[in-house]
Chains A and B, each alone.
Chain A
Amino acid sequence: MVPISAYLILSFVLFSIGAIGVLVRKNAIVVFMCIELMLNAVNISFVAFSQLHGNLDGQIAVFFVMVVAAAEAAVGLAIIIAMFRNAETTETTDFGELKF
């Protein structure tokens, strides 16, 4: 049997890869995909904990995370299209006017 800690370590590695992608990449669409990776990592640990406690509430939480991810995909990609329309680029470093 696979122990619960193996699932949690997989989840944490996936989350770290997503976070590194958000920090390193400059293309806004790839940053968006890395956020999806982080959400999926959290989903894995939700389902693993739901098995650990013998309770389905964690799987309902995954359901709502998917709802939020779908809403985020629609709005985020619309924002990226608006960015491209205004500046002909989606590099995050080109949108630094509000930076302190």
Chain B
Amino acid sequence: MIFQQVLFYLLSFLIIASALGVVIFPCAIKSTLCLIVTLIGVAAIFAMLNAHFLVATQVIVYAGAIVVLVLFVVMLLNLKKEKLRDLISFRSILGVILLTSLLLAFFPLVIKHFPSEEFQYVHGNAEDLGRLLFGKFLFAFEIASFLIIAALLGAIALAQGYKTSSLEKREAGSGSN
């Protein structure tokens, strides 16, 4: 049991350090690589909470698909580095102070209201999750498939915007001639 605690604190240190890396690194590629470490750390936290199917989904969907998409766009766009000095403004300092005070106010509340005794174990394996997903949550599942199709078509339409606008320009030009 002490091993589990040590593992948890090591993992949370890793997650928080790499999440700070995402925010702090001026170069977008380094931020993305830190994001991969964070996502895999979150997958390990899921494993500690017995959510085995979600570990696989987290690694495949997040660390596999989404981060690769982000890296692809970062490398496609040839971005400039941000200077850390430019980031400090009145608005950002106010936001950081507000959030930190909220964080400090939240800690005692959580420790008081969630004691450790009521912890139960459920195993989130693929069979139980699948039964729930195709039984109780079937309607939500169908809505999710609609959402994915809408996002797919929307992404294609947005990414092709330049092509259609140049075509319209050409048509408008030929119309005036």
Determine whether the beta carbon of A25 is less than 8 Å from that of B79.
Answer: no
Among A36, A62, A82, point to the contact of B161 (Cβ < 8 A).
Answer: A82
C-alpha gap A1/B77 in the complex (Å): 46
Secondary structure class of chain B's binding surface, majority of residues: helix
> Contact at B69–A54, with CB atoms within 8 Å?
no
CA distance A53 to B115 in the complex (A): 13
Kindly identify which residue among A33, A78, A82 contacts B22, using a CB–CB cutoff of 8 Å: A33
Contact, CB under 8 Å: B92 / A23 = yes
Cβ contact within 8 Å between B148 and A67 = yes
Interface residues of B in 42-98 (CB under 8 A from A): 42, 45-46, 48-51, 53-54, 57-58, 61-62, 65-66, 69-70, 73-74, 76-77, 79, 82, 86-87, 91-92, 95-96
User: What's the nearest-Cβ distance from chain B to residue A76, in Å?
Assistant: 9
Interface residues of A (CB under 8 A from B): 1-10, 12-14, 16-21, 23-27, 29-30, 32-34, 36-37, 40, 43-44, 47-48, 50-57, 59-60, 62-64, 66-75, 77-82, 84-85, 90
Looking across the interface, which residue of chain A has its beta carbon closest to that of B48?
Answer: A2
- CB distance B96 to A24 under 8 Å? yes
Of the candidates B77, B136, B154, the one having the most CB atoms from chain A within 10 angstroms of its own CB is B77
Contact residues in B for A40 (Cβ distance below 8 Å): 38-39, 42, 62
Known contacts A4-B118, A9-B106, A69-B66; 4 further A-B pairs (Cβ under 8 A): A30-B31, A52-B120, A70-B65, A73-B65
